[in-house]
Copies of this chain bind each other. A is one copy, B any other.
Amino acid sequence: MVIRENFENSLQELKKKISDMGELSIQALENAFIALKTQDVEIALSVIEEDTEVDDLDDEINQFAVWLISKEQPVARDLREIIGALKISSEIERVADFAVNISKATIKIGKSKSLLELTHLEKMKDVSVQMLQKALQSFLEANIVMAKEVSDLEDQVDEYNSETYKTLTNYLREHPEDMDQLLQLIFINRHLERAADHITNIAESTAYLIKGKIYDFNS
């Protein structure tokens, strides 16, 4: 059983890397929002810089997975678990990219009087972070019920998203002079909706690696 034990250890190591990557992405989202709220360009720049850590972890996970498949030649659920980890890491990488996009928008907004309070953006970020935590936990614990909860939370994000879009475009009609900032807020609104979508994909991949069946929670 030494071989099996080695494999289990390697799988735990892979999961640990995914979990670290998830934590970094959550931190990136939180920091991107601190930057947006306080209009702090320095913090926004640091989110952009620190994204290389997430990218490096993603590369590391890919190489580790290839090494692990070569060495252990896993089949069935073991193999699905590794392939699932690859999919999940590329989704997490994408979530971190949205934090970068939010930071770039924050830099463009600069010091102009903030219109953030018109929006549900912070609530959308909060729900997204909660979704990502749940998706990671469901992956680490192979918990399919929790994976399903992630997609229920996504409905909230979608609702905030349409409301925010309506509010911002109506405001833009009345205040064309605020266009530059309003466009950036409209983009951030979209980034968060997309981030929630990719987090739902993580939950789907988790469901796949548990059950071996492909789920589409988005539809």
Contacts and interface: CB of A to CB of B under 8 A. Distances in A.
A73 interface: yes
Interface in A160-212: 169, 172-173, 176, 179-180, 183, 186-187, 190
A92 interface: no
A75 B65 CA distance: 12
> How many copies of this chain are found per oligomer?
2
Contacts of A10: none
Contacts of A79: 66, 69-70
A182 to B, nearest CB: 10
A17 interface: no
A91 to B, nearest CB: 9
Interface string A66-104: 100110010110011001001100100000000000000
Interface residues of A, number: 28
A62 interface: yes
Contacts of A180: 169
Interface of A: 55, 59, 62, 65-66, 69-70, 73, 75-76, 79-80, 83, 86-87, 90, 169, 172-173, 176, 179-180, 183, 186-187, 190, 214, 216
